[in-house]
Amino acid sequence: MAENSEPVKRARKPNLTAAECTLLLTVAEENINIIKSKFTNAITNKHKNKVWEEIPDEVNSLGVCKRSVTEIKEKWRGMFSSAKRVHSKIATDRQKTGGGSKPISPKGETIKIIDLLGEDPSFSGITGGIESGAEPITIAVDPIVMSTFPESLPKELEITEDVLSEKSNSGEPPQLPLQSQR
């Protein structure tokens, strides 16, 4: 019978060094248009794969440890995600009015990634976008507050069809009549 029934564990590689991360960031920066390309046709994918196969060769030239394409891609995704998180936190902190803890100060690599990808919608989101699943906001007016206004103010406004068809000769929009409904 087999005496060693336990699976053999693979030796863990050391973490990427600061020099390897810096080189990865530099090479990724040179090829960012290819790496972040949204096209998915065969030619573009071949070009992306070629670039991703060249990056580990350059990182491995440092001689720390032999890294695979998968390991390098995973490290890039981690660096990208970390920078995205920091960028989001900075944007959130910028909206605050003060007080509380000191805002975070990102590392050099994170700053470089934020500068490189800061305007990319996949990094910072769509500016001015509306959340698609958001419910519309309805505002209810408190009757007690409304009772403090004079009775002469209309509770509702009504626009009639003849006002909408009316044209002004002066170039200004026509005045809308207010009709009080009680």
pTM above 0.95, yes or no: no
User: Which amino acid, 179?
Assistant: Q
144 pLDDT higher than 90: no
How many angstroms separate the CA atoms of 50 and 57, rounded? 11
Predicted confidence at residue 153, as pLDDT, reads: 54
Whether 173 and 159 have beta carbons less than 8 Å apart is answered as no
Cα of 47 vs its chain's centroid, Å: 26
Arithmetic mean of pLDDT, 37-64: 87
DSSP state of 6: S
Confidence of residue 52 (pLDDT cuts 50, 70, 90): very high
In 3-state terms, what secondary structure has residue 94?
Answer: helix
10 pLDDT higher than 50: yes
Lowest mean pLDDT: which of 21-30, 47-56, 105-114?
105-114
